[in-house]
Amino acid sequence: MKYDVVVVGSNMMELTTDVDRMPQLGETVAAPSFHTAFGGKGANQAYAAAQLGSKVAMISVVGDDSFGRDYYEHFQQSGIDVSAVEVGHQANGVAPCFIQGNLNSIIVVQGANAELTPAMVDQHRDLLAKAKLIVLQQEISLATDYRVIEIANEFGVPALLNPAPANDEINYDYVRRVQFYAPNETELGRLTHLPVATLDEIKVAAHQLVADGVQNMIVTLGARGVLWVNATTELLIPAETVSAVDSIGAGDAFVGAFAHYYTAGSDIPTSLQQANHYAALTVTKPGSQTSYPRADEM
């Protein structure tokens, strides 16, 4: 079976508590509400692409607990191929999130995601070879990302690396080996060690990476839009004006939507524009995956 998108990455159960104020150390406070939701950067990106109609497979590890079982079933119900989703020995990854007004604090517990190893990836080489595009992030080990990039290069499959969360230990040689490198401006600054406070500074940093061998820079800029830079092109696509409610997961929605439109045959500028529109829609509703519309809801 051929796949439009194969995502190699994390899954997390989001454990969200709304608080009137954050507790001090040693203090207990009452909270008005709590809810759980499906999240994690890899799973979010896979879900967005699947919502839009892509044939998606996920390579991931869920936990040997109720959260893991729930997530496995959620993948299946979302139309995501789970033939390479394994059950690990640890509890599922979780992300406790505390929201106070427009501010949030998040703790990431990797859990079973740590069991997604290069050796496991090797077991699913055939799956990766059948992809039109492979999507990666950095909530799994860099060694695993590197192995996926090696396999992608071996089979001539393009790969997109979303370097989130940022990791200063990344081997720059592997950044050169993906077709698309998609940081936000903060992650761009950490990799280049250049200032990224203004749009002009961001452009300089992006061009520096292209000069150093990166094929396509896709820099997400939040309210400023998205910047695409390669050896011959510099294109800024402005953000759409919307009434934002919750921006959590918008970057993942953008990546998943770009993967969908690009593998469906759109050129890069069109794919970026459509992904920009999709991400804008998601910030008008609360939550990550719960805010991702289907194609018929666009």
Find out whether 213 is annotated in a ligand binding site: no
Could you say which of 65, 212, 252, 296 is catalytic?
252
Find out whether 43 is annotated in a ligand binding site: yes
Q: Which two tokens stand for residue 62?
A: 């869920």
Q: Which two tokens stand for residue 244?
A: 């934002």
Q: Using DSSP, state whether 40 is helix, strand or coil.
A: coil
**Residue 151 burial (CB count, 10 A):** 21
N-term to C-term CA, the chain: 28
pLDDT for the residue 263: 99
Find out whether 225 is annotated in a ligand binding site: yes
Distance CA 3, CA 24 (A): 49
Find out whether 251 is annotated in a ligand binding site: yes
Q: What are residue 95's phi and psi, to 5 degrees?
A: -135, 85
Q: Which two tokens stand for residue 82?
A: 């789970």
Find out whether 156 is annotated in a ligand binding site: no
Tell me, what amino acid is at 37? A
pLDDT for the residue 251: 92
DSSP-derived secondary structure letter, 90: S
Nearest to 287 by CA among 92, 36, 33, 70: 36
Question: For residues 17-31, b (16+ Cβ closer than 10 Å) or e, as one string?
Answer: eebeeeeeeeeeeee
**Residue 52 burial (CB count, 10 A):** 26
Range of the domain at 115: 3-297
Find out whether 224 is annotated in a ligand binding site: yes
Find out whether 42 is annotated in a ligand binding site: yes
Find out whether 41 is annotated in a ligand binding site: yes
Predicted TM-score of the model (pTM):
0.94
pLDDT for the residue 261: 99
pLDDT for the residue 244: 77
Half-sphere exposure of 49 (CA within 13 A, CB side): 34
pLDDT in tens, the chain (298 residues): 899 999 999 999 999 999 999 999 999 999 999 999 999 999 999 999 999 999 999 999 999 999 999 999 999 999 999 999 999 999 999 999 898 886 778 888 999 999 999 999 999 999 999 999 999 999 999 999 999 999 999 999 999 999 999 999 999 999 999 999 999 999 999 999 999 999 999 999 999 999 999 999 999 998 899 999 999 999 999 988 888 777 788 899 999 999 999 999 999 999 999 999 999 999 888 878 989 999 988 7
Q: What is the CATH number of the domain that holds 98?
A: 3.40.1190.20
The question of whether 252 is a catalytic residue gets the answer yes
pLDDT for the residue 249: 86
Q: Are 279 and 251 in contact (CB under 8 A)?
A: yes
pLDDT for the residue 102: 67
- Counting the structural domains of the chain, the total is 1
Q: Which two tokens stand for residue 152?
A: 């992608």
Q: Which two tokens stand for residue 16?
A: 């969200």
Is omega for the bond preceding 286 within 30 degrees of 0, making it cis? no
Q: Strands across the sheet with 103-106, in order?
A: 33-39, 12-18, 94-100, 103-106
DSSP-derived secondary structure letter, 80: -
DSSP-derived secondary structure letter, 140: S
Q: Using DSSP, state whether 262 is helix, strand or coil.
A: helix
Half-sphere exposure of 292 (CA within 13 A, CB side): 28
Q: What is the CA radius of gyration of the chain?
A: 18
Question: Measured at the alpha carbon of residue 118, what is the angle toward residues 117 and 122, in degrees to the nearest 5?
Answer: 120
pLDDT for the residue 243: 80
**Residue 213 burial (CB count, 10 A):** 12
pLDDT for the residue 131: 99
